[in-house]
Amino acid sequence: MQLSALFLLALHNSVRGATVLAPAAKPTQFVTLDIVNGPVAPDGFTRIGVLANGTFPGPPIVATKGQTLVVKVNNKLTNDTMRLSTSIDFDGVFIDSDNVFNTGSPFVTTCPFGPGESYTYTLPLGNQTGSFWYHSALSVQYIDGLRGTVDPDDPLAHLYDIDDASTVLTVADWWHNTSTSGLVSYLATHINPVADSGLFNGRGRYNGGPEIEYAAVSVVPGKRYRFRLINISARSQFFFSIDNHTMTVIEADGVATEPHEVNILLIHTGQRYSIVVAANQAVGNYWINAVINNESPTHNLNLNSTLSRGILRYEGALDEEPQTPLTEGPTGTDAVMLHEWEIVPLDPIPAPEPDFNLTFNTFMPANITAWQINNISYIPPSVPTLVRVLQGETQQMDFNETENTFLFPTNKTIQVEIVDARNEGHPFHLHGMNFWVIKSNGSDIINTVNPIRRDVCNTGNGTIILRFRTDKPGPWSFHCHILYHFAVGLGSVIGAGLDRVGNVVHPTEAWERLCPAYDALPPGEQ
Ligand SMILES: *[C@@H]1O[C@H](CO)[C@@H](O)[C@H](O)[C@H]1NC(C)=O
Ligand SMILES: *[C@@H]1O[C@H](CO)[C@@H](O)[C@H](O)[C@H]1NC(C)=O
Ligand SMILES: *[C@@H]1O[C@H](CO)[C@@H](O)[C@H](O)[C@H]1NC(C)=O
Ligand SMILES: *[C@@H]1O[C@H](CO)[C@@H](O)[C@H](O)[C@H]1NC(C)=O
Ligand SMILES: *[C@@H]1O[C@H](CO)[C@@H](O)[C@H](O)[C@H]1NC(C)=O
Ligand SMILES: *[C@@H]1O[C@H](CO)[C@@H](O)[C@H](O)[C@H]1NC(C)=O
Ligand SMILES: *[C@@H]1O[C@H](CO)[C@@H](O)[C@H](O)[C@H]1NC(C)=O
Ligand SMILES: *[C@@H]1O[C@H](CO)[C@@H](O)[C@H](O)[C@H]1NC(C)=O
Ligand SMILES: *[C@@H]1O[C@H](CO)[C@@H](O)[C@H](O)[C@H]1NC(C)=O
Ligand SMILES: *[C@@H]1O[C@H](CO)[C@@H](O)[C@H](O)[C@H]1NC(C)=O
Ligand SMILES: *[C@@H]1O[C@H](CO)[C@@H](O)[C@H](O)[C@H]1NC(C)=O
Ligand SMILES: *[C@@H]1O[C@H](CO)[C@@H](O)[C@H](O)[C@H]1NC(C)=O
Ligand SMILES: [Cu+2]
């Protein structure tokens, strides 16, 4: 705890003045997270949630380039109306093959762990920088609140003045009911549950609820801020804008981009953007519009996207709400929307030509709540894929059809075309690495020269085309990040060079103990 607090201070100094050197970071940063049940009321409605260290969002973890992050997670869950076991996924952090067992994908690379148990994730960060987040990876548990931000520092100091714990901005959907009841209702009604409120930095309001004070972000006139915007929703996308301010995008999902100025952006579940905002307007209060976008608000009359907002407060301004109208941000010709196909990595890498092509047709039949990829709904195996691969199950025939496990040799390029004929919008997420986005939703442009690389890409209105490499032997989960969709089958596993996994992956004894311990738990504690 001390270490992380000290580090924050150092980071703060180093970005305020180019000549102030931050003390060298320790090679290893130890972090503890206690996963607990506790009351939370981000929109004024109190419920019991699944929380990291008792708060929602969980505490940010700030690390620096080159460090190894060692995160000890203590499962202190007690309330059996929600899942009692857990498993943590550090989204977007690159994982090398030999460390695939630390990816925290339940039933792909690991078993969850039960109440009273602990597990320590060791994550060498290498040269990766950017904005990441962590969440529970077990079924729909993260809807109950276990979400937070992981934030390895990227010292691109010349573009901005301030980048510290106060500049991590989160948008989230919030649910008054437990995720378990949401899933039951989804299965019974075919209707994807709709959130009760949208939160900005952990606060929001719902129709008829109390007037919770909106979260304010303080800025000093004249300074430029690198805000790290993270969508930690379970299902909802957000249109994000700040009245009278532009936003310069400089990072998408951990990949630095050419500066690209917009005044509104749509952020999907699991996605991250760094935006530079200059505090260059008159001293005052400005609305931050974090407009939650659910397609069917009539399914939950609590939800009101106008009430999902925050405040940008200049130093010297009164401690009050802006007097300006509550809008949903720039519209029509005033809107300069971020388009995924227009953002270019600072360090472009042409996409290699594919060795294999894959098509994913996403579909839900009218008569059953089950998302399918090519007519198959993913069912997690009871023994995790990695456990079986290490036991020698490395051939296609070793995997049941419902495991949606696609095997490829090592060191190949795979192209996946994801078809979403009904424009449902599925933010597909690949574990452990990035993909190249050759074709984005909303554009017909095919870019293989300098496409954006990221780890979450939203489908819709036709197709998206992604490419990735199988340089890292291992089973890598590839799934829709809308937790309810994943829970009813919209998942797959990319089996990269499985015959080589035994040579490179040597899990710890602590990992090996997870499955026997999980299997021994009574069903109520799993
Ligand atoms: C979480 O809480 C534990 C116990 O109080 C503390 O040791 C740890 O530093 C906290 N973690 C973070 C990331 O703040
Ligand atoms: C457990 O959580 C439920 C909500 O899911 C709540 O109604 C109940 O009071 C909680 N139990 C305890 C002991 O906190
Ligand atoms: C980090 O970058 C340096 C310099 O580009 C390179 O020599 C080194 O191999 C990289 N380390 C990792 C772990 O990728
Ligand atoms: C929440 O759960 C209650 C009781 O099960 C149910 O009546 C209500 O419709 C649920 N609300 C939503 C928004 O799903
Ligand atoms: C600030 O934004 C609001 C809402 O878009 C607009 O009505 C107003 O004219 C803007 N003010 C200035 C000074 O640009
Ligand atoms: C953000 O928005 C998308 C909607 O595209 C949603 O599915 C996703 O789960 C949200 N959450 C995160 C963490 O991005
Ligand atoms: C949403 O909230 C705004 C602001 O309070 C209010 O004007 C509007 O009527 C609300 N919309 C609905 C559908 O209740
Ligand atoms: C994959 O599809 C592309 C067209 O998108 C085609 O040019 C290429 O030949 C295909 N490669 C293989 C190995 O089928
Ligand atoms: C759903 O409908 C399809 C054809 O429309 C049929 O083949 C299938 O058996 C039905 N499934 C169920 C569970 O009723
Ligand atoms: C294996 O796949 C079949 C469909 O091909 C499915 O009915 C069955 O439930 C699956 N078995 C397991 C254990 O998931
Ligand atoms: C894959 O590429 C790496 C790095 O070039 C090399 O070390 C490894 O031997 C290759 N593996 C196979 C199976 O070709
Ligand atoms: C779908 O894409 C077509 C062109 O590719 C465009 O004309 C249409 O407006 C899009 N529809 C939606 C709902 O985005
Ligand atoms: Cu989906």
With cut-offs at 50, 70 and 90, classify the pLDDT of residue 77.
very high
How do residues 84-112 score in pLDDT, each as one tens digit?
888 888 877 888 889 999 988 888 999 99
Q: At 58, list the tokens.
A: 């969980």
The least confident of 182-186, 197-201, 325-329 is: 182-186
With cut-offs at 50, 70 and 90, classify the pLDDT of residue 65.
confident
382 and 482 in a single domain? The answer is yes
Instruction: Find the mean pLDDT for residues 13-23.
Output: 28
Nearest to 364 by CA among 421, 418, 297, 402: 421
Residue 91 has a pLDDT of: 72
Q: Please indicate, yes or no, if residue 524 is contained in any of the structural domains.
A: no
336 and 371 in a single domain? The answer is no
Q: Please indicate, yes or no, if residue 525 is contained in any of the structural domains.
A: no
Q: Please indicate, yes or no, if residue 163 is contained in any of the structural domains.
A: no
Alpha carbon distances (Å) from 330 to 215, 283, 417, 509: 21, 21, 32, 54
Q: End-to-end distance of the chain based on CA atoms, in angstroms?
A: 30
Distance 209 CA to ligand 7 centre (A): 12
Q: At 31, list the tokens.
A: 């972090």
412 and 515 in a single domain? The answer is yes
297 Cβ closer than 6 Å to some ligand 8 atom: no
Please state, as a whole number, how many other Cβ atoms lie within 10 Å of the Cβ of residue 376.
15
User: Pairing state of beta strands 285-293 and 309-314?
Assistant: antiparallel
Q: How many helices (H) and strands (E) does the chain have?
A: 6, 30
User: Closest ligand 5 atom to the C-alpha of 334?
Assistant: 5
284 and 377 in a single domain? The answer is no
Q: Please indicate, yes or no, if residue 162 is contained in any of the structural domains.
A: no
Contact 285, 326 (CB under 8 A): no
User: Closest ligand 6 atom to the C-alpha of 234?
Assistant: 9
For 487, phi and psi rounded to 5 degrees? -65, -25
Instruction: Find the mean pLDDT for residues 12-29.
Output: 43
447 and 327 in a single domain? The answer is no
Residue nearest to atom 11 of ligand 12 (CA): 461
SS3 of 87, please? coil
User: Closest ligand 6 atom to the C-alpha of 233?
Assistant: 11
Q: Which of 7, 8, 34, 73 to mutate to test the pocket of ligand 1 (most atoms within 8 A of CB)?
A: 34
CATH code of the domain containing 330:
2.60.40.420
Instruction: Find the mean pLDDT for residues 313-326.
Output: 97
Residue 2 has a pLDDT of: 17
Give the pocket of ligand 2 (CB within 6 Å). 48, 79, 81, 178
Contact 172, 183 (CB under 8 A): no
305 and 414 in a single domain? The answer is no
Q: Please indicate, yes or no, if residue 295 is contained in any of the structural domains.
A: yes
Higher-confidence position of 143 and 474: 474
Give the pocket of ligand 11 (CB within 6 Å). 410-411
With cut-offs at 50, 70 and 90, classify the pLDDT of residue 26.
confident
Who's near 44: CB < 8 A, 6+ residues apart? Answer: 205, 206, 209, 210, 211, 212
Give the pocket of ligand 4 (CB within 6 Å). 177, 181, 185, 193, 300
Decide if pLDDT at 499 tops 70: yes
485 and 403 in a single domain? The answer is yes
Strand order, beta sheet including 265-267: 216-219, 309-314, 285-293, 237-242, 265-267
Residue 149 has a pLDDT of: 47
127 Cβ closer than 6 Å to some ligand 3 atom: yes
For 390, phi and psi rounded to 5 degrees? -70, -20
Among 285, 317, 342, the domain boundary falls at 342
335 and 365 in a single domain? The answer is no
Distance 489 CA to ligand 8 centre (A): 27
Decide if pLDDT at 147 tops 80: no
With cut-offs at 50, 70 and 90, classify the pLDDT of residue 438.
very high
494 and 429 in a single domain? The answer is yes
Q: Please indicate, yes or no, if residue 281 is contained in any of the structural domains.
A: yes
Residue nearest to atom 11 of ligand 4 (CA): 177
Give just the sign of the alpha carbon dihedral 52, 229, 310, 4.
positive
For 385, phi and psi rounded to 5 degrees? -50, -45
Q: Which of 98, 394, 410, 501 to mutate to test the pocket of ligand 11 (most atoms within 8 A of CB)?
A: 410
Buried b (16+ CB within 10 A) or exposed e, 292-305: bbbeebeebebbbb
Distance 133 CA to ligand 13 centre (A): 19
Decide if pLDDT at 299 tops 80: yes
The least confident of 136-150, 388-402, 407-421 is: 136-150
130 and 194 in a single domain? The answer is no
Q: Please indicate, yes or no, if residue 101 is contained in any of the structural domains.
A: yes
Residue 182 has a pLDDT of: 84
User: Closest ligand 3 atom to the C-alpha of 66?
Assistant: 13
63 and 91 in a single domain? The answer is yes
Instruction: Find the mean pLDDT for residues 149-160.
Output: 58
How do residues 384-404 score in pLDDT, each as one tens digit?
999 999 999 999 999 999 999
Among 277, 311, 342, the domain boundary falls at 342
Rounded to the nearest integer, the mean pLDDT of the chain is 86
**Across the strands, what pairs with 171?**
200, 231
Which domain covers residue 434, as residue numbers?
Answer: 356-519
Decide if pLDDT at 428 tops 50: yes
Distance 177 CA to ligand 4 centre (A): 6
Nearest to 426 by CA among 380, 377, 471, 490: 490
User: Closest ligand 10 atom to the C-alpha of 402?
Assistant: 2
Which residue is it, tokens 């869950």? 77
Domains: count for the chain: 3
Give the pocket of ligand 1 (CB within 6 Å). 1, 4, 31-34, 53, 59, 61
Instruction: Find the mean pLDDT for residues 492-504.
Output: 96
Residue 24 has a pLDDT of: 53
363 and 316 in a single domain? The answer is no
For 503, phi and psi rounded to 5 degrees? -75, -30
Decide if pLDDT at 526 tops 80: yes
Q: Please indicate, yes or no, if residue 243 is contained in any of the structural domains.
A: yes
Residue 130 has a pLDDT of: 66
